[in-house]
Structure 1
Amino acid sequence: MSDAWQYQLRIYLPDESVEAARSDPSCSALVPLSRVLRKHAASLKCQFDAFSDYVAEAERHGVDHFPLYAWTKATIEDPVKRAKHLKAFAIHIGERAIYSKEEAEALEVDLQPLIVGGTIERISKHDTNPANNPQPPEEYQRKDATKTA
């Protein structure tokens, strides 16, 4: 069944590259990374920015329709977690945030040399298997009220 899972790679950048990657990932300091991304028709999305976008959309459309709103908002407001997520960048292939294992592995192979070169600090691979993904802490889990007729 693991063949059914989709994947996402995330890279973690050195502090001095974070703002450049958020505003202009094609800047000269990130040329080696830009080459790899271009080869795979890929782009970066800062995890902090993705979380902030989710919170903003929830606030525009009603937080009741966004089950991870409270947890995500708490995450971006926590200074330690904010710093962690500012360094993390999800790699999207085309418009897709998740993609096949083969695509993830090919991308990972091309990114590995950038760790040695210092362009990136590390790579992590995530899959869509719920057993491998964090669940909201108890305090942020929704309590569905049972309605009686």
Structure 2
Amino acid sequence: MSDILAKHNARLRNQLDAFADYVAAAERSGQENFPLYKWTKAVIEDPEKIEKHSKAFSIHVAGEEVYGKDAADALEAELRPLVGGPLVTRLTKHDSNPANNPQPPAQYR
């Protein structure tokens, strides 16, 4: 797997760490600039969600969390055969358009 990531100038990022960094940045800079602050904070304080997200990783390409479809497709094509093995249990791609993603529950808006 590390060969594939290196070939694509990519690295793994633990999702729980990313959430914690988001919360810390919001608390330093002002929560009003971080629309997902309340929801994300609730996640990193929930033991079940901690367990879930500590096992999830995102892939950043060339240091970027959001990158083009061609890069995502190429990376997915090489990683797909690893699904079901000892390291990769599931592989998904996410659209960066907020309209195509889950929205925070009402209590976190």
Provide structure 2 residue ranges, at least 5 long, that are not aligned to the other structure.
none
2:3 aligned partner: 35
State the alpha-carbon separation in 1 of the partners of residues 104 and 42 from structure 2. 11
Matching residue of 2:38 = 70
Uncovered stretches (5+) of structure 1, i.e. residues with no partner: 1-32, 142-149
Instruction: With the length of structure 1 as denominator, give the TM-score of the two structures.
Output: 0.69
Q: State the structure with bigger RCO (CA 8 A, min sep 6), 1 or 2.
A: 1
Q: Which residue of 2 aligns with 1:138?
A: 106
Q: Report the Cα distance in structure 1 between the residues aligned to 2:85 and 2:48, rounded to whole angstroms.
A: 27
Choose between structure 1 and 2: higher strand proportion. Answer: 1
Aligned to 1:91: 59
Q: Percent identity?
A: 57
Q: Which runs of 4 or more aligned residues in structure 1 lie more than 3 Å from their structure 2 counterparts after TM superposition?
A: none
The aligned counterpart of 1:102 is: 70
Q: CA deviation at 1:56?
A: 0.8
RMSD: 1.3
C-alpha separation between the residues in 2 aligned to 1:69 and 1:85?
16
Bigger Rg, which one: 1
Asked whether the equivalents of residues 84 and 90 of structure 2 are also in contact (C-alpha less than 8 Å), the reply is no
Q: 1:62: how far off?
A: 2.2
Q: Which residue of 1 aligns with 2:95?
A: 127
Say how many residue pairs are matched: 109
